């Protein structure tokens, strides 16, 4: 049987050729889907790993923030203690100077 373009291909042959072509395309699509599925799994694994890493860094940053705040508080207390000690030292020095002046009024002229 001759078709419109002069070929003697039967209708059944054309259908078989079309079906074979469709099967090849489906195989190709299936292979591509498998590749994409593997890539998606790999990407998810990387994302999960990165998420765990980010959480670990966040925890470390928070721990460092808390420790820094505690150290800041300790330093504030230490500075206040130094200021108080300095003030007390000045008072003690002034009292000592007055006692010396009371004992030896001439010591004031030697300073």
Q: What's the pLDDT band for 9 if we cut at 50, 70, 90?
A: confident
Q: 49-89, pLDDT tens digit by residue?
A: 999 999 999 999 999 999 999 999 999 999 999 999 999 99
Q: Cα separation of 72 and 100, whole Å?
A: 41
Q: What is the pLDDT of residue 105?
A: 75
pTM above 0.95, yes or no: no
Q: Return mean pLDDT, the chain.
A: 91
């Amino acid at each position: 049987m001759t078709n419109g373009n002069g070929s003697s291909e039967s209708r059944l042959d054309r259908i078989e050729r079309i079906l074979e072509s469709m099967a090849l395309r489906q195989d190709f699509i299936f292979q591509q889907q498998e590749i994409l599925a593997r890539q998606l799994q790999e990407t998810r694994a990387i994302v999960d790993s990165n998420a765990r890493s980010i959480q670990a860094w966040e925890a470390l940053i928070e721990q460092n923030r808390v420790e820094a705040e505690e150290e800041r508080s300790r330093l504030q207390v230490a500075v206040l203690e130094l200021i108080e000690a300095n003030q007390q030292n000045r008072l003690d020095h002034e009292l000592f100077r007055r006692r010396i002046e009371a004992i030896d009024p001439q010591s004031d002229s030697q300073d």
